[in-house]
Amino acid sequence: MITIFPQFLSAQDEVTSTSFSDMSIVNKKISSNISIADLVEKVSPSVVNITVSYGSNSPQLFGYGSGFIISARKEVITNFHLIDNVDKIEIELSDGKIYPASIIGADAETDLALLRLETNISIPYLSLAENKRNRVGDWVFAIGNPYGMGQSVSLGIISAIGRARKDGGSYIDYIQTDTSINKGNSGGPLFNLRGEVIGVNSAIYSPTGANIGIAFVIPLKVVMNVITGLRNDGRMKRGYIGVILKTEEFQVEDENPIYSLNSVYGATIKKIVPNSPSHFYGLMEKDIILDINGSTIRNSTQATRAIGALKPGEFANLIIRRKNKTYKFEIMIGERPNKGELEVINKEFND
**Active site (annotated) includes residue 279:** no
Q: What is the signed CA dihedral for 232, 234, 240, 244, rounded to 10 degrees?
A: 150
Of 46, 66, 81, 202, the catalytic one is 81
Pairing state of beta strands 295-296 and 288-292?
antiparallel
Tell me how far the alpha carbon of residue 144 is from its chain's centroid: 18
Length of the chain: 351
Residue by residue, DSSP assigns 308-350 as HTSPTT-EEEEEEEETTEEEEEEEE-EEPPPHHHHHHHHHHHH
C-beta separation of 307 from 240 below 8 A: yes
Type and span of the H or E element at 345: helix 339-350
Q: Report CA torsion sign: 130, 135, 141, 142.
A: positive
Residue (of 131, 110, 114, 30) closest to 78 by Cα position: 114
Q: How far is CA 157 from CA 4, 134, 172, in A?
A: 21, 11, 20
**Active site (annotated) includes residue 35:** no
DSSP 247: E
Of 46, 66, 111, 180, the catalytic one is 111
Of 46, 66, 154, 186, the catalytic one is 186
DSSP 33: T
Residue (of 111, 126, 305) closest to 217 by Cα position: 111
Residue (of 172, 170, 165, 203) closest to 346 by Cα position: 170
Residues forming the active site:
81, 111, 186
